[in-house]
């Protein structure tokens, strides 16, 4: 974070704000789950894009289809089957990275 704001930010000053924000979101989850899910869907960068999902040694490719009501991420494979992912790694397929993408080995 320091690289982005060009200042020293003591963790002890930031931590209470993070904890408060997390507690507020957990409370919101219990109060209005549908609204929280709608917010997540609105900001889901992967939704509709080709992704690779890795869970242990299992690797699947497909189109990211967002969260379901239980919080599992959905992946639609090339045959149209929807798989629900509880844990693992989701990443964009190399072919679907934006042209101006930067990251390890890019730009």
Give the domain ranges of the chain.
Answer: 2-96
Residues 2-96, CATH architecture: Roll (2.30)
Residues 56/39, Cβ–Cβ less than 8 Å: no
pTM exceeding 0.75: no
Separation of alpha carbons 83 and 1, rounded Å: 35
Residue count of the chain: 107
One digit per residue, the tens of pLDDT, for the chain of length 107 reads 555 666 777 878 889 998 999 898 778 777 777 887 888 888 899 999 999 999 999 999 999 999 998 889 999 999 999 999 998 899 998 876 666 555 444 44
Question: Which helix (H) or strand (E) segment is 33 a member of?
Answer: helix 33-43
């Amino acid at each position: 974070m320091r690289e982005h704001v060009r200042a020293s930010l003591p963790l002890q000053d930031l931590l209470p704000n993070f904890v408060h924000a997390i507690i507020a979101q957990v409370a919101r989850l219990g109060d209005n789950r549908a609204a929280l899910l709608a917010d997540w869907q609105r900001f889901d960068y992967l939704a509709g894009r080709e992704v690779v999902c890795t869970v242990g040694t299992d690797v699947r490719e497909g189109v990211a289809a967002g969260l379901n009501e239980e919080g599992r991420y959905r992946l639609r494979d090339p045959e149209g089957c929807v798989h629900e992912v509880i844990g693992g790694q989701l990443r964009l397929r190399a072919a679907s990275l934006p042209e101006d993408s930067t990251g390890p080995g890019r730009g």
